[in-house]
């Protein structure tokens, strides 16, 4: 993968973190999380996607995360036979000595990403798409079931999958559809029970005086969920509220419970209920709205009062 580091350095120097599309080098925001923003730099001849992660304070942290990120991708590809996009990692120090860190992937057709596909195909095809994602997830938990010193975590929101060779002019999903897993940031895996990634980074975008209490209140539960197939599945179903398709949730619950009973019966997973999906989503929504509001207050204080650049991107308030 050919990466133009000088282009990234120039972009980092001039980025408008409030409105990236208005930067000196304009960029489209394709997605965002707590630690990163996913962008495409307009007029980039390489046609790549960049995950900007302004969370590292030292070279040691950046080097470790680069190693962990590459290891996680290798585990998914080689150990679990889960397909991921080609990727690269670039980090450097900016003019002020701050570390800029970018995870880079080949660009995936936007229409092929799961949360877009579900609005283009029939409800029955959505069921098939979710079952295909469940089969990808089964690879993870079949591996973890062996109880080796290596345990793999997985974030299986439907927006983290894309369809290979998808045709937006003829959108369809069937049993032969092939999925690619596109969100390998953050990289979740444990060796002898110890998280490979430094979990403190997930609260880096929270105001500094709240990081420690919020870390201990929420981080362990959130991270542990990525290692529990049932919890991860509830999270995937609950996200259909955010994707504005709540009417499909009861049918999804029924179909997934059938999957657990027939295709994954050796895991003896307790059936999921619509009631617990609703309860999970309400709590999840409360947590992320709370964190989002705190970040907005922090940005206002830094930008307007102290006249400093706020390094993280905060998306427009999404409909939940």
Please report, in angstroms and rounded to a whole number, the separation of the first and last CA atoms in the chain.
37
Q: Which residue pairs from 54-59 have beta carbons closer than 8 angstroms and sit at least 24 positions apart in sequence?
A: 54/98, 54/99, 54/100, 54/101, 54/311, 54/312, 55/101, 55/201, 55/204, 55/205, 56/91, 56/99, 56/101, 56/201, 57/99, 58/99, 59/99
Whether 85 maps to a domain, the answer reads yes
Q: Assess whether 102 and 133 both reside in one domain.
A: no
Among 274, 237, 272, 239, CA closest to 257: 272
Q: Are residues 126 and 89 in the same domain?
A: no
Residue at a domain's end among 77, 106, 135? 106
Same domain, 34 and 93: yes
CB 240 within 8 Å of CB 249: yes
Output the CA angle 234-240-243, nearest 5 degrees: 145
Residues 67, 206 within the same domain: no
Instruction: Confirm whether 215 is domain-assigned.
Output: yes
Do 190 and 268 share a domain, yes or no? Answer: yes
Total Cβ atoms within 10 A of residue 181 = 23
Is residue 316 in a domain?
no
Indicate if 102 and 246 belong to the same structural domain.
no
Cβ 70 vs Cβ 128: under 8 Å: no
Domain that holds residue 23: 5-106
Q: Where are the beta strands (DSSP E) in 184-288?
A: 189-191, 194-195
Cα–Cα dist 239/231, whole Å = 12
pLDDT of residue 105: 92
Q: What is the number of other CB atoms lying within 10 angstroms of the CB of residue 116?
A: 19
Residue 271 DSSP class: P
Phi then psi dihedrals of residue 103, to 5 deg: -90, 130
| pTM of this prediction exceeds 0.85 | yes
Domain match, 210 and 270 both: yes
Q: What is the CATH number of the domain that holds 11?
A: 3.30.200.20
User: For 155, phi and psi rounded to 5 degrees?
Assistant: -105, 105
Beta-carbon contacts of residue 261 (< 8 Å; ≥ 6 apart): 271
The burial class, CB within 10 Å (0-12 / 13-18 / 19+), for 130 is buried
- Is residue 101 located within the same domain as residue 148? no
* 216 shares its domain with 266: yes
Domains contained in the chain, number? 2
Q: Which of 106, 138, 159 is the last residue of a domain?
A: 106
Instruction: State pLDDT tens for residues 165-201.
Output: 999 999 999 999 999 999 887 789 999 999 998 878 8
Contact 25, 10 (CB under 8 A): yes
Could you tell me if residue 310 is inside a domain? no
- In terms of domains, do 140 and 285 share one? yes
257 and 128: one domain?
yes
The DSSP line for 68-115 is: HHHHHHHIIIIIT------EEEEEEE-TTS-EEEEEEEEPPPGGGBHH
Question: Which are the contacts of 5, defined by CB distance < 8 A and separation ≥ 6?
Answer: 90, 92
Q: Is there a domain that residue 180 lies in?
A: yes
Domain assignment of residue 319, yes or no? no
pLDDT at residue 308, rounded to an integer: 85
**Could you tell me if 51 and 96 lie in one domain?**
yes
Pick out the chain residues at pLDDT < 50: none
pLDDT of 320: 59
Query: What is the structure's pLDDT at 189?
Result: 95
Supply the pLDDT for residue 124: 97
Residue-wise pLDDT tens digits, 95-143? 888 999 999 998 899 999 999 999 999 999 999 999 999 999 999 999 9
**Residue length of the chain:** 320
Determine the pLDDT at residue 288: 81
Last residue of a domain, one of 106, 129, 157: 106
Q: Does 317 map to a domain?
A: no
Q: What is the pLDDT of residue 287?
A: 82
pLDDT at 293: 87
pLDDT, position 270: 97
For residue 313, tell me if it sits in a domain.
no
């Amino acid at each position: 993968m050919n990466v133009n580091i000088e282009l990234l350095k120039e972009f980092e120097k001039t980025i408008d973190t409030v409105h990236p599309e208005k930067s000196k080098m304009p960029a489209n925001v394709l997605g965002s999380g707590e630690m990163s923003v996913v962008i495409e730099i307009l007029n980039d001849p390489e046609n790549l996607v960049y995950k900007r992660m302004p969370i590292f304070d030292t070279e040691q942290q950046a080097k470790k995360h680069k190693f962990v990120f590459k290891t996680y991708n290798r585990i998914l590809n080689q150990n679990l036979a889960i397909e991921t996009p080609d990727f690269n990692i670039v980090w450097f120090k900016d003019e002020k000595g701050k570390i800029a860190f970018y995870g880079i992937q080949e660009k995936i057709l936007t229409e092929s990403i799961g949360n877009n596909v579900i609005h283009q195909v029939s409800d029955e095809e959505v069921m098939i798409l979710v079952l295909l994602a469940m089969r990808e997830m089964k690879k993870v938990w079949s591996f973890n079931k062996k109880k080796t010193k290596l345990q793999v975590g997985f974030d299986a929101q439907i927006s983290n999958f894309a369809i290979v060779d998808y045709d937006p002019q003829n959108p369809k999903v069937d049993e032969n559809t092939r999925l690619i897993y596109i969100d390998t940031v953050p990289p979740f895996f444990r060796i002898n029970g110890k998280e490979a990634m430094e979990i403190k980074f997930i609260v880096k975008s929270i105001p500094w005086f709240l990081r420690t209490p919020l870390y201990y209140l929420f981080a362990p539960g959130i991270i542990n969920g990525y290692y529990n197939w049932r919890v991860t599945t509830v999270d995937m179903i609950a996200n259909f509220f955010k994707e504005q398709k709540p009417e499909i949730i009861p049918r999804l619950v029924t179909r997934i419970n059938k999957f657990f009973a027939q295709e994954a019966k050796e895991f003896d997973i307790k059936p999921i209920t619509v009631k617990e999906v609703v309860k999970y989503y309400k709590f999840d929504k409360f947590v992320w709205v709370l964190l989002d509001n705190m970040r907005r207050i922090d940005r206002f204080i830094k930008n307007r009062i102290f006249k400093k650049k706020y390094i993280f991107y905060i998306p427009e308030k999404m409909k939940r």
